[in-house]
Structure 1
Amino acid sequence: MSIRLIHNPGCSKSRAALALLEQQGLPFETIDYLASPLTLDELRDLQRQLDLPARALLRESEDDFARLGLADPTLCEEQLLTALASHPPLLQRPIVLCGDRALIARPPELLLAFLAA
């Protein structure tokens, strides 16, 4: 089982998810998406794995969300994913990937049931 954590070390929820994974004793890879932003293709794959609309991947509380006008309901999936690729802090976190499945682990405790499934 290959587990990856899309992680922001400055986020308390992301740090909590990291701690939970460490407590489980399972091997996992940590991806600091601010230091190594996801490409547009990787975001498309992530959206597919999460089975969510692109809008659900956005953090509305980020300054860039308002500045870029991302609340506009006429924006298409590709426009939203392009904004995410260009502005990584907009990405929801933490995200846990396991095989072809993915989960936005908010709250972080959700990842325990996700990994057990």
Structure 2
Amino acid sequence: MDVAIYHNPACGTSRNTLALIRHCGFEPHVIEYLKTPPSRALLAQLAARTGEPLRALIREKGTPYAELGLDDTTLLDDALLDAMEAHPILLNRPLVVSPLGVALCRPSERVLDLLPMRPRGAFVKEDGEAVLDAQGRRVG
């Protein structure tokens, strides 16, 4: 199964999502989007495939979001896409693409909805939060 993750290695949620994909037996195509930013057209396509508004894929924290005036809710998607293309740090992460869909995986366990389950035992996030039990079933 072909899986891709738009990844930022400095982000704990992104690292947990990547680890969870690998724990489930998949080696994803890792796209460090700060080094290889997606095009404007690809951003629009990915947003459409999530079924969420484009604004849901924009990260505010630690980005030039406010300085760029992106908090103006009257801005059209074209303006948002222009900003995201010019400032890839605005792309919220991790964004995961699989044959089962596309989703912003916050929290990281959302990625399980994009993968066929292959029970492989327990999985615990970096912060100690259990996601899968010893039988590979979701916790909580």
**Residue aligned with 1:64, SS:** coil
- Mean Cα deviation higher: 100-109 or 87-96: 100-109
Matched positions, count: 117
Ranges of 4+ aligned residues in structure 1 off by more than 6 Å: none
Matches within 5 A, 1:1-117: 1-99=1-99, 101-116=101-116
Residue by residue, what CA displacement relative to the aligned partner does 1:8-46 show, whole Å, maximum 9, x if unpaired?
011010000111111111131000000001110110111
CA distance in 2, matches of 1:78, 1:50: 17
Per-residue CA distance 1:67-101 (angstroms, 9 max, x = gap):
10000111001111111111011111001101372
TM (norm. structure 2) is: 0.78
Q: Please tell me whether the aligned partners of residues 100 and 115 of structure 2 are also in contact (alpha carbons under 8 angstroms).
A: no
TM superposition score normalised by structure 1: 0.93
Q: Which runs of 5+ in 2 are unaligned?
A: 118-140
- Unaligned stretches of 5+ residues in structure 1: none
Q: Compute the displacement of 1:62 (Å).
A: 3.0
Task: Report the counterpart of residue 137 of structure 2 in structure 1.
Answer: none
Higher-RCO chain (CA-CA 8 Å, sequence separation at least 6): 1
More helix by share: 1
